[in-house]
Amino acid sequence: MLGLRKKELRQQSGHRGAGKNQGVMSKHPKPPIPIDHWFKDLASVESLRDVLDNAAFKQAVAILKEIGGPSFGTLQDNDTNSLRHAWYAGYRDAFNDLQKLTKLPVNENKNIQPDEWLHIEQ
């Protein structure tokens, strides 16, 4: 079996519909864009906001957070408890970061002049 190619293995395994692109990541994934480019595309920001405001998405987030949280059973085993806390923190961070992507940043690059130079302009 070591000499068989993927296609032959797929045919022998009897998987129907196991097409070339089904469940496989692209060999050339798109690199992430800089954060300032994200916020310049207002349509993407609005689209993400619509997804996050969707009731089904909010319910899925709540379910994942509930499942990921610690329980009495996991508190009895330190290893399991640590893993549960790590999963829970990961879910919270991911969903909080998605929310941050829907809030446009405040322009902090304003040209602020100190008061002591105002007399020159007058």
Per-residue confidence in pLDDT tens, the chain, 122 aa:
445 455 554 554 444 444 454 456 567 767 788 888 888 999 999 999 999 999 999 999 999 888 877 777 777 888 878 888 888 888 889 899 999 999 988 765 555 555 665 556 55
Total domains present in the chain: 1
Specify if 63 maps to a domain: yes
Instruction: In whole angstroms, give the CA distance from residue 50 to residue 22.
Output: 27
Question: pLDDT at position 87, please?
Answer: 82
DSSP assigned state of 113: P
Specify if 113 maps to a domain: no
Specify if 49 maps to a domain: no
What is the extent of the structural domain holding 62?
55-103
- Is the pTM value of this prediction over 0.75? no
CA angle (111, 117, 121) in 5-degree steps: 90
Question: pLDDT at position 84, please?
Answer: 81
Specify if 122 maps to a domain: no
Specify if 23 maps to a domain: no
CB 75 within 8 A of CB 81: yes
Specify if 15 maps to a domain: no
Specify if 120 maps to a domain: no
Instruction: In whole angstroms, give the CA distance from residue 69 to residue 83.
Output: 10
